[in-house]
Amino acid sequence: MTTELTILTLAGLLQCLQFFAYSFTANRQVSRKVALGPRDEPVQLTGTAGRLKRALENHFEGLILFTIACLVVTLGDQSTPFTTGCAWTYLGARILYVPAYALGLTPWRSIVWAIGFFATTFMLIAALL
């Protein structure tokens, strides 16, 4: 397995941890009846629970593009120290993004997000060269 795929796997596990953090904080905010119910009406989460939910959703979006980059690099046999560095940068940025978003750290949340996004973009470009 390439290093990029290993990092993709770690990013998937990070997604699992984010889900648990979001779920824990959300369940503390709403009643048990709402948490276990069908949620026919959307639940409006606030504070940390709301921010962790948005961070989780953002990671789903970013993970799609990162997955494409890892697969293109791996299947195209384009893995290099540069693409590996980009993958580690993406993962590091995503790890930092969670507390930055949960704590409402402005503008750091956006800066960390951009670092991860550009790391993924550079991986895609490198695969074409």
- Which domains does the chain carry? 3-37+46-128 (1.20.120.550)
Mean pLDDT of the chain: 93
Least confident piece of the model among 9-18, 43-52, 86-95, 117-126: 43-52
* Amino acid making up residue 78: Q
Contact 129, 83 (CB under 8 A): no
Under the banding of pLDDT at 50, 70 and 90, the label for residue 6 is very high
pLDDT at 18: 97
CA distances from 58 to 47, 81, 85, 117 (A): 17, 27, 22, 11
Q: Closest Cα to residue 90, out of 128, 56, 62?
A: 62
Note the pLDDT tens digit of each residue in 59-76: 999 999 999 999 999 999
Identify the residue whose tokens are 């949340």: 109
Residue 34: pLDDT above 80? no
Neighbouring residues of 30: CB distance < 8 A, sequence distance ≥ 6:
43, 45
At 43, is the pLDDT very low, low, confident or very high (cuts 50, 70, 90)?
confident
Report the candidate in 28, 34, 93, 84 with the shortest Cα–Cα distance to residue 58: 93
Q: What confidence score (pLDDT) does residue 7 get?
A: 98
What's the pLDDT band for 29 if we cut at 50, 70, 90? confident
